[in-house]
Amino acid sequence: MKREAAALGAWLRGEESRLIELIRAGIDQKGFLELASVHQVNALCSFLWRTRFLSIPEDVARRMEPILEDLRRSYLHHFMRNDRLRKDLTELVAAFEEKGINSLFLKGSWVAFAAYPDPGTRHIADIDLCIQEEDFEPVVEVLTGLGYASKDPLPRGAGRALRQSLYGNQLFFSARARRPVELHFQVLNYGLAGQDEEWIWEGSRGFDVGGGEIRVPGPVPMLLHLVLHANQHGFCPLRLLLDLHWTLLSGGFDSGTWREFIERVSRLRCRSVAYHSLMICEELFGTPVPEDCLDALRPGWIKRATYSAWWRLGSVRRHRPLQRTMTANRVMLYLLEMSSLRNKVRYLSELTREAGGARGALSLLWSLYSSSRRDGDEMRMKSLSVQQKHEAIP
Protein backbone atom coordinates (compact mmCIF):
# COMPACT_ATOMS: atom_id res chain seq x y z
CA MET A 1 0.00 0.00 0.00
CA LYS A 2 1.25 3.45 -0.80
CA ARG A 3 2.42 5.49 2.15
CA GLU A 4 -0.25 8.18 1.53
CA ALA A 5 -3.01 5.55 1.67
CA ALA A 6 -1.47 4.05 4.81
CA ALA A 7 -1.33 7.54 6.39
CA LEU A 8 -4.98 8.18 5.49
CA GLY A 9 -5.97 4.85 7.04
CA ALA A 10 -4.03 5.57 10.24
CA TRP A 11 -5.54 9.07 10.36
CA LEU A 12 -9.11 7.80 10.05
CA ARG A 13 -8.51 5.05 12.62
CA GLY A 14 -7.06 7.62 15.02
CA GLU A 15 -3.71 5.78 15.25
CA GLU A 16 -1.55 8.68 16.29
CA SER A 17 1.83 6.95 16.69
CA ARG A 18 1.50 5.13 13.35
CA LEU A 19 0.58 8.41 11.67
CA ILE A 20 3.58 10.20 13.19
CA GLU A 21 5.83 7.37 11.98
CA LEU A 22 4.47 7.63 8.42
CA ILE A 23 4.73 11.43 8.31
CA ARG A 24 8.32 11.28 9.53
CA ALA A 25 9.09 8.69 6.86
CA GLY A 26 7.76 11.27 4.35
CA ILE A 27 4.47 11.40 2.50
CA ASP A 28 3.67 13.17 -0.75
CA GLN A 29 1.49 15.99 0.54
CA LYS A 30 -0.24 16.66 -2.78
CA GLY A 31 -0.94 12.96 -3.22
CA PHE A 32 -2.32 12.73 0.29
CA LEU A 33 -4.64 15.69 -0.21
CA GLU A 34 -5.89 14.30 -3.47
CA LEU A 35 -6.61 10.95 -1.85
CA ALA A 36 -8.43 12.59 1.08
CA SER A 37 -10.39 14.66 -1.42
CA VAL A 38 -11.37 11.67 -3.60
CA HIS A 39 -12.59 9.86 -0.51
CA GLN A 40 -14.35 13.01 0.79
CA VAL A 41 -12.70 12.83 4.18
CA ASN A 42 -10.62 16.04 4.23
CA ALA A 43 -13.00 17.84 6.58
CA LEU A 44 -13.09 14.80 8.87
CA CYS A 45 -9.27 14.58 8.84
CA SER A 46 -9.05 18.24 9.90
CA PHE A 47 -11.45 17.67 12.78
CA LEU A 48 -9.71 14.49 13.96
CA TRP A 49 -6.31 16.21 13.89
CA ARG A 50 -7.56 19.05 16.10
CA THR A 51 -9.52 16.93 18.55
CA ARG A 52 -8.03 13.44 18.67
CA PHE A 53 -4.32 13.80 17.98
CA LEU A 54 -3.14 15.62 21.05
CA SER A 55 0.51 14.50 21.33
CA ILE A 56 1.80 15.40 17.87
CA PRO A 57 5.47 16.45 18.13
CA GLU A 58 6.39 19.92 16.87
CA ASP A 59 8.48 18.71 13.91
CA VAL A 60 5.57 16.59 12.61
CA ALA A 61 3.06 19.41 13.05
CA ARG A 62 5.38 21.78 11.17
CA ARG A 63 5.76 19.32 8.32
CA MET A 64 1.99 18.99 8.06
CA GLU A 65 1.20 22.70 8.17
CA PRO A 66 0.39 23.15 4.43
CA ILE A 67 -1.87 20.07 4.44
CA LEU A 68 -3.59 21.08 7.65
CA GLU A 69 -4.46 24.48 6.27
CA ASP A 70 -6.07 22.90 3.26
CA LEU A 71 -7.97 20.37 5.37
CA ARG A 72 -9.15 23.13 7.69
CA ARG A 73 -10.55 25.11 4.78
CA SER A 74 -12.50 22.04 3.74
CA TYR A 75 -13.84 21.60 7.26
CA LEU A 76 -14.97 25.23 7.46
CA HIS A 77 -16.66 24.98 4.07
CA HIS A 78 -18.60 21.85 4.98
CA PHE A 79 -19.46 23.16 8.42
CA MET A 80 -20.99 26.27 6.86
CA ARG A 81 -22.87 24.54 4.06
CA ASN A 82 -24.23 21.88 6.44
CA ASP A 83 -25.26 24.58 8.86
CA ARG A 84 -27.24 26.17 6.04
CA LEU A 85 -28.65 22.74 5.13
CA ARG A 86 -30.61 22.76 8.40
CA LYS A 87 -32.64 25.66 7.03
CA ASP A 88 -33.32 23.87 3.73
CA LEU A 89 -34.45 20.75 5.60
CA THR A 90 -36.78 22.52 8.00
CA GLU A 91 -38.32 24.57 5.21
CA LEU A 92 -38.95 21.41 3.20
CA VAL A 93 -40.56 19.64 6.16
CA ALA A 94 -42.73 22.64 7.01
CA ALA A 95 -43.98 22.85 3.42
CA PHE A 96 -44.68 19.09 3.34
CA GLU A 97 -46.49 19.17 6.66
CA GLU A 98 -48.72 21.96 5.43
CA LYS A 99 -49.89 19.65 2.64
CA GLY A 100 -50.06 16.57 4.86
CA ILE A 101 -47.20 14.83 3.04
CA ASN A 102 -45.10 12.23 4.87
CA SER A 103 -41.38 12.28 4.21
CA LEU A 104 -38.28 10.42 5.33
CA PHE A 105 -34.77 11.82 5.08
CA LEU A 106 -31.95 9.40 4.35
CA LYS A 107 -28.16 9.31 4.70
CA GLY A 108 -26.40 12.71 4.95
CA SER A 109 -29.25 14.69 6.52
CA TRP A 110 -29.15 12.29 9.47
CA VAL A 111 -25.56 10.97 9.68
CA ALA A 112 -23.99 14.44 9.51
CA PHE A 113 -25.92 15.75 12.50
CA ALA A 114 -26.51 12.58 14.51
CA ALA A 115 -23.66 10.18 13.88
CA TYR A 116 -20.48 12.00 12.82
CA PRO A 117 -18.44 13.65 15.57
CA ASP A 118 -19.17 17.13 14.16
CA PRO A 119 -21.62 18.37 11.48
CA GLY A 120 -18.74 19.85 9.47
CA THR A 121 -17.05 16.49 9.03
CA ARG A 122 -19.53 14.91 6.58
CA HIS A 123 -19.61 16.06 2.95
CA ILE A 124 -23.23 16.24 1.76
CA ALA A 125 -23.96 16.65 -1.93
CA ASP A 126 -27.75 16.51 -1.88
CA ILE A 127 -30.83 15.82 0.21
CA ASP A 128 -32.03 12.24 -0.11
CA LEU A 129 -35.76 12.39 0.33
CA CYS A 130 -38.03 9.36 0.43
CA ILE A 131 -41.73 9.83 -0.21
CA GLN A 132 -44.72 7.58 -0.82
CA GLU A 133 -45.79 6.95 -4.40
CA GLU A 134 -49.19 8.62 -4.02
CA ASP A 135 -47.53 11.83 -2.82
CA PHE A 136 -45.42 12.32 -5.95
CA GLU A 137 -47.51 15.07 -7.51
CA PRO A 138 -48.06 17.10 -4.30
CA VAL A 139 -44.32 16.77 -3.57
CA VAL A 140 -43.43 18.16 -7.00
CA GLU A 141 -45.86 21.00 -6.33
CA VAL A 142 -44.17 21.78 -3.00
CA LEU A 143 -40.69 21.59 -4.52
CA THR A 144 -41.72 23.88 -7.37
CA GLY A 145 -43.19 26.31 -4.84
CA LEU A 146 -39.81 26.44 -3.10
CA GLY A 147 -38.06 27.24 -6.36
CA TYR A 148 -36.93 23.73 -7.29
CA ALA A 149 -36.93 22.49 -10.86
CA SER A 150 -36.40 18.98 -12.16
CA LYS A 151 -33.10 18.30 -13.89
CA ASP A 152 -34.81 16.21 -16.59
CA PRO A 153 -38.35 16.27 -17.96
CA LEU A 154 -40.64 14.88 -15.28
CA PRO A 155 -42.35 11.52 -15.83
CA ARG A 156 -46.12 11.63 -16.21
CA GLY A 157 -47.74 10.38 -13.05
CA ALA A 158 -46.54 8.70 -9.90
CA GLY A 159 -46.33 5.21 -11.40
CA ARG A 160 -43.98 6.33 -14.15
CA ALA A 161 -41.89 8.29 -11.66
CA LEU A 162 -41.51 5.25 -9.42
CA ARG A 163 -40.46 3.07 -12.37
CA GLN A 164 -37.95 5.66 -13.54
CA SER A 165 -36.37 6.00 -10.12
CA LEU A 166 -35.92 2.22 -9.83
CA TYR A 167 -35.16 1.16 -13.39
CA GLY A 168 -33.88 4.34 -14.99
CA ASN A 169 -32.43 7.64 -13.85
CA GLN A 170 -32.89 9.13 -10.40
CA LEU A 171 -35.28 12.07 -10.04
CA PHE A 172 -33.21 15.08 -9.22
CA PHE A 173 -34.36 18.62 -8.36
CA SER A 174 -32.24 21.70 -7.90
CA ALA A 175 -32.92 25.29 -6.83
CA ARG A 176 -30.93 28.48 -6.52
CA ALA A 177 -29.29 28.77 -3.09
CA ARG A 178 -30.74 25.45 -1.93
CA ARG A 179 -29.26 21.99 -1.66
CA PRO A 180 -30.45 19.71 -4.52
CA VAL A 181 -33.03 17.05 -3.72
CA GLU A 182 -32.92 13.45 -4.92
CA LEU A 183 -36.31 11.80 -4.75
CA HIS A 184 -36.73 8.16 -3.69
CA PHE A 185 -39.85 6.05 -3.42
CA GLN A 186 -38.30 3.24 -1.42
CA VAL A 187 -35.79 3.38 1.42
CA LEU A 188 -34.37 0.09 0.16
CA ASN A 189 -34.38 1.36 -3.39
CA TYR A 190 -33.00 -1.58 -5.33
CA GLY A 191 -34.68 -4.14 -7.51
CA LEU A 192 -38.40 -4.38 -7.95
CA ALA A 193 -41.05 -1.81 -7.19
CA GLY A 194 -43.78 -2.47 -4.68
CA GLN A 195 -41.71 -3.82 -1.81
CA ASP A 196 -43.46 -3.69 1.52
CA GLU A 197 -41.87 -0.83 3.44
CA GLU A 198 -44.74 -0.21 5.82
CA TRP A 199 -42.50 -1.36 8.69
CA ILE A 200 -39.98 1.37 7.82
CA TRP A 201 -42.57 4.16 7.82
CA GLU A 202 -44.17 2.84 11.00
CA GLY A 203 -40.83 2.63 12.80
CA SER A 204 -39.58 6.05 11.66
CA ARG A 205 -38.38 8.54 14.27
CA GLY A 206 -38.22 12.29 14.63
CA PHE A 207 -34.83 13.93 14.65
CA ASP A 208 -34.04 17.53 15.57
CA VAL A 209 -31.60 18.98 13.07
CA GLY A 210 -31.43 22.22 15.04
CA GLY A 211 -34.27 24.57 14.27
CA GLY A 212 -36.76 21.88 13.33
CA GLU A 213 -37.55 18.19 13.22
CA ILE A 214 -37.22 15.85 10.28
CA ARG A 215 -38.31 12.21 10.13
CA VAL A 216 -35.73 9.53 9.50
CA PRO A 217 -35.90 5.71 9.30
CA GLY A 218 -35.26 3.72 12.48
CA PRO A 219 -31.77 2.32 13.17
CA VAL A 220 -32.24 -0.96 11.27
CA PRO A 221 -33.56 0.40 7.92
CA MET A 222 -31.12 3.32 8.10
CA LEU A 223 -28.18 0.92 8.53
CA LEU A 224 -29.57 -1.30 5.76
CA HIS A 225 -29.89 1.70 3.45
CA LEU A 226 -26.32 2.80 4.22
CA VAL A 227 -24.96 -0.73 3.71
CA LEU A 228 -26.62 -1.10 0.30
CA HIS A 229 -25.65 2.41 -0.72
CA ALA A 230 -21.98 1.88 0.15
CA ASN A 231 -21.98 -1.34 -1.85
CA GLN A 232 -23.74 0.32 -4.78
CA HIS A 233 -20.81 2.74 -5.10
CA GLY A 234 -18.22 -0.03 -4.76
CA PHE A 235 -17.25 1.34 -1.31
CA CYS A 236 -15.77 4.45 -2.86
CA PRO A 237 -15.46 7.12 -1.57
CA LEU A 238 -14.43 5.80 1.82
CA ARG A 239 -16.91 8.30 3.26
CA LEU A 240 -19.64 5.75 2.49
CA LEU A 241 -18.02 3.20 4.77
CA LEU A 242 -17.41 5.89 7.36
CA ASP A 243 -21.17 6.52 7.34
CA LEU A 244 -21.56 2.97 8.61
CA HIS A 245 -18.69 3.37 11.06
CA TRP A 246 -20.02 6.53 12.69
CA THR A 247 -23.60 5.26 12.63
CA LEU A 248 -22.55 2.21 14.61
CA LEU A 249 -20.43 4.31 16.96
CA SER A 250 -23.31 6.69 17.61
CA GLY A 251 -25.11 3.98 19.58
CA GLY A 252 -28.59 2.52 19.47
CA PHE A 253 -27.41 -0.95 18.42
CA ASP A 254 -28.09 -3.47 21.15
CA SER A 255 -28.44 -7.23 20.70
CA GLY A 256 -32.15 -6.85 19.81
CA THR A 257 -31.39 -4.33 17.05
CA TRP A 258 -28.68 -6.57 15.62
CA ARG A 259 -31.09 -9.54 15.67
CA GLU A 260 -33.65 -7.50 13.74
CA PHE A 261 -30.98 -6.36 11.32
CA ILE A 262 -29.91 -9.94 10.58
CA GLU A 263 -33.53 -10.99 10.16
CA ARG A 264 -34.24 -8.18 7.67
CA VAL A 265 -31.03 -8.85 5.77
CA SER A 266 -31.91 -12.55 5.50
CA ARG A 267 -35.40 -11.70 4.27
CA LEU A 268 -33.94 -9.42 1.59
CA ARG A 269 -31.41 -12.14 0.72
CA CYS A 270 -28.48 -9.75 0.94
CA ARG A 271 -26.45 -11.33 3.73
CA SER A 272 -23.30 -11.23 1.67
CA VAL A 273 -23.61 -7.45 1.12
CA ALA A 274 -24.19 -6.82 4.83
CA TYR A 275 -21.38 -9.15 5.89
CA HIS A 276 -18.76 -7.67 3.58
CA SER A 277 -19.73 -4.03 4.24
CA LEU A 278 -19.52 -4.49 8.00
CA MET A 279 -16.43 -6.68 7.80
CA ILE A 280 -14.51 -4.16 5.67
CA CYS A 281 -15.57 -1.35 8.04
CA GLU A 282 -14.29 -3.28 11.03
CA GLU A 283 -11.07 -4.05 9.20
CA LEU A 284 -10.40 -0.49 7.96
CA PHE A 285 -11.64 1.60 10.88
CA GLY A 286 -12.07 -0.77 13.81
CA THR A 287 -15.87 -0.36 13.69
CA PRO A 288 -17.57 -2.14 16.58
CA VAL A 289 -19.47 -5.02 14.94
CA PRO A 290 -20.38 -7.91 17.27
CA GLU A 291 -18.53 -11.09 16.30
CA ASP A 292 -21.68 -13.21 16.55
CA CYS A 293 -23.41 -10.86 14.11
CA LEU A 294 -20.63 -11.28 11.54
CA ASP A 295 -20.75 -15.06 12.14
CA ALA A 296 -24.48 -15.08 11.47
CA LEU A 297 -24.07 -13.12 8.23
CA ARG A 298 -20.91 -14.80 6.90
CA PRO A 299 -21.58 -16.53 3.55
CA GLY A 300 -19.77 -19.67 2.37
CA TRP A 301 -16.23 -19.48 1.02
CA ILE A 302 -17.24 -19.60 -2.65
CA LYS A 303 -19.58 -16.65 -2.18
CA ARG A 304 -16.89 -14.78 -0.24
CA ALA A 305 -14.34 -15.38 -2.98
CA THR A 306 -16.66 -14.33 -5.83
CA TYR A 307 -17.86 -11.28 -3.93
CA SER A 308 -14.32 -10.21 -3.15
CA ALA A 309 -13.31 -10.59 -6.80
CA TRP A 310 -16.32 -8.79 -8.32
CA TRP A 311 -16.33 -5.89 -5.86
CA ARG A 312 -12.51 -5.74 -5.81
CA LEU A 313 -12.13 -5.67 -2.08
CA GLY A 314 -8.34 -5.63 -2.50
CA SER A 315 -8.61 -2.18 -4.13
CA VAL A 316 -10.98 -0.99 -1.41
CA ARG A 317 -8.44 -2.02 1.23
CA ARG A 318 -5.77 -0.04 -0.61
CA HIS A 319 -8.18 2.94 -0.81
CA ARG A 320 -8.31 2.80 -4.58
CA PRO A 321 -11.61 3.63 -6.29
CA LEU A 322 -13.62 0.95 -8.04
CA GLN A 323 -13.51 1.77 -11.71
CA ARG A 324 -17.03 0.92 -12.77
CA THR A 325 -20.06 3.13 -13.34
CA MET A 326 -22.73 3.52 -10.69
CA THR A 327 -25.46 2.25 -13.02
CA ALA A 328 -23.50 -0.97 -13.50
CA ASN A 329 -22.96 -1.31 -9.75
CA ARG A 330 -26.60 -0.70 -8.99
CA VAL A 331 -27.85 -3.33 -11.42
CA MET A 332 -25.17 -5.85 -10.53
CA LEU A 333 -25.74 -5.36 -6.81
CA TYR A 334 -29.30 -6.61 -7.21
CA LEU A 335 -28.53 -9.30 -9.77
CA LEU A 336 -25.55 -10.75 -7.96
CA GLU A 337 -26.17 -10.12 -4.31
CA MET A 338 -29.87 -9.69 -3.58
CA SER A 339 -33.23 -11.39 -3.75
CA SER A 340 -34.43 -14.61 -5.42
CA LEU A 341 -33.79 -15.92 -8.95
CA ARG A 342 -37.43 -15.32 -9.89
CA ASN A 343 -37.23 -11.67 -8.82
CA LYS A 344 -33.95 -11.20 -10.65
CA VAL A 345 -35.55 -12.40 -13.89
CA ARG A 346 -38.48 -10.04 -13.30
CA TYR A 347 -36.05 -7.21 -12.55
CA LEU A 348 -34.17 -7.83 -15.80
CA SER A 349 -37.41 -7.78 -17.75
CA GLU A 350 -38.43 -4.50 -16.07
CA LEU A 351 -35.05 -3.00 -16.92
CA THR A 352 -35.49 -4.07 -20.53
CA ARG A 353 -38.98 -2.55 -20.64
CA GLU A 354 -37.78 0.73 -19.13
CA ALA A 355 -34.81 0.85 -21.50
CA GLY A 356 -37.27 0.72 -24.42
CA GLY A 357 -37.19 -2.93 -25.46
CA ALA A 358 -34.51 -5.21 -26.85
CA ARG A 359 -32.39 -2.46 -28.38
CA GLY A 360 -32.39 -0.53 -25.10
CA ALA A 361 -31.55 -3.70 -23.22
CA LEU A 362 -28.59 -4.34 -25.51
CA SER A 363 -27.34 -0.84 -24.92
CA LEU A 364 -27.79 -1.35 -21.18
CA LEU A 365 -25.84 -4.62 -21.33
CA TRP A 366 -23.12 -2.87 -23.29
CA SER A 367 -22.90 -0.13 -20.67
CA LEU A 368 -22.62 -2.79 -17.96
CA TYR A 369 -19.93 -4.58 -19.92
CA SER A 370 -17.94 -1.54 -20.85
CA SER A 371 -18.36 0.35 -17.59
CA SER A 372 -15.16 2.24 -17.58
CA ARG A 373 -13.07 4.54 -15.43
CA ARG A 374 -15.63 7.31 -15.76
CA ASP A 375 -17.21 7.03 -12.33
CA GLY A 376 -13.93 7.27 -10.44
CA ASP A 377 -12.83 10.25 -12.49
CA GLU A 378 -16.16 12.02 -12.10
CA MET A 379 -16.01 11.52 -8.38
CA ARG A 380 -12.50 12.91 -8.31
CA MET A 381 -13.45 16.01 -10.25
CA LYS A 382 -16.52 16.56 -8.09
CA SER A 383 -14.63 16.42 -4.82
CA LEU A 384 -11.84 18.62 -6.13
CA SER A 385 -14.30 21.23 -7.31
CA VAL A 386 -15.87 21.38 -3.84
CA GLN A 387 -12.41 21.88 -2.43
CA GLN A 388 -11.73 24.85 -4.62
CA LYS A 389 -14.86 26.65 -3.51
CA HIS A 390 -13.13 28.37 -0.67
CA GLU A 391 -11.11 31.50 -0.48
CA ALA A 392 -9.10 33.21 2.21
CA ILE A 393 -9.60 36.97 2.39
CA PRO A 394 -6.49 38.86 3.48
Partner 1 sequence: MNLPKHPLIREDLVYRKIDDDFVVYDPVGDYTAQFNFTAAYVLDLCDGTRAKDEICRDVAKAFSAPLPTVEGDVQRILGNLASMNFFVEETEVTAGGKNVDRDEVAGRS
* Number of Cβ within a 10 Å radius of residue 46: 26
Give 76 or 192: the residue with its C-beta nearer to partner 1: 76
Give 84 or 318: the residue with its C-beta nearer to partner 1: 84
Q: Find the binding residues for partner 1 in span 133-152 (CB under 8 A).
A: none
Tell me if 390 sits within 8 A of 381, measured CB to CB: no
Give 204 or 387: the residue with its C-beta nearer to partner 1: 387
Q: How far is the CB of 41 from partner 1 (least distance, A)?
A: 18
Tell me if 260 sits within 8 A of 218, measured CB to CB: no
**Single-letter residue type at 42:** N
Tell me if 228 sits within 8 A of 339, measured CB to CB: no
- Pick from 254, 262, 271: nearest CA to 307: 271
Q: Find the binding residues for partner 1 in span 156-185 (CB under 8 A).
A: 176-178
**Single-letter residue type at 87:** K
Q: Is 342 a binder of partner 1 (CB under 8 A)?
A: no
Q: Find the binding residues for partner 1 in span 222-241 (CB under 8 A).
A: none
* Residues near partner 1 (CB under 8 A), total: 18
Q: Is 279 a binder of partner 1 (CB under 8 A)?
A: no
Q: Is 123 a binder of partner 1 (CB under 8 A)?
A: no
Q: Is 392 a binder of partner 1 (CB under 8 A)?
A: yes
Q: How far is the CB of 73 from partner 1 (least distance, A)?
A: 7
How many residues belong to the chain? 394
Q: Which x/- pattern over 285-304 shows residues binding partner 1 (rule: CB under 8 A)?
A: --------------------
Rg value, the chain, Cα: 21
Q: Is 389 a binder of partner 1 (CB under 8 A)?
A: yes
CA–CA dist 286, 260 (Å, integer): 23
Q: How far is the CB of 120 from partner 1 (least distance, A)?
A: 8
Give 91 or 350: the residue with its C-beta nearer to partner 1: 91
DSSP 319: T
Backbone φ, ψ for residue 129 (5° rounding): -120, 125
**Single-letter residue type at 159:** G
Q: Distance of CA 115 to CAs 37, 88, 90, 176, 380, Å? A: 21, 20, 19, 28, 25
Q: How far is the CB of 389 from partner 1 (least distance, A)?
A: 5
Tell me if 119 sits within 8 A of 112, measured CB to CB: yes
Give 198 or 391: the residue with its C-beta nearer to partner 1: 391
Cα 189 to chain centroid, rounded = 13
Give 179 or 245: the residue with its C-beta nearer to partner 1: 179
Strand partners of residue 149? 174
Give 178 or 239: the residue with its C-beta nearer to partner 1: 178
Give 125 or 361: the residue with its C-beta nearer to partner 1: 125
CA–CA dist 149, 170 (Å, integer): 14
Q: Is 54 a binder of partner 1 (CB under 8 A)?
A: no
Q: Is 391 a binder of partner 1 (CB under 8 A)?
A: yes
Q: Find the binding residues for partner 1 in span 303-332 (CB under 8 A).
A: none
CA–CA dist 96, 139 (Å, integer): 7
Q: Find the binding residues for partner 1 in span 58-87 (CB under 8 A).
A: 72-73, 76-77, 79-81, 83-84
Binding site for partner 1 (CB under 8 A): 72-73, 76-77, 79-81, 83-84, 176-178, 389-394
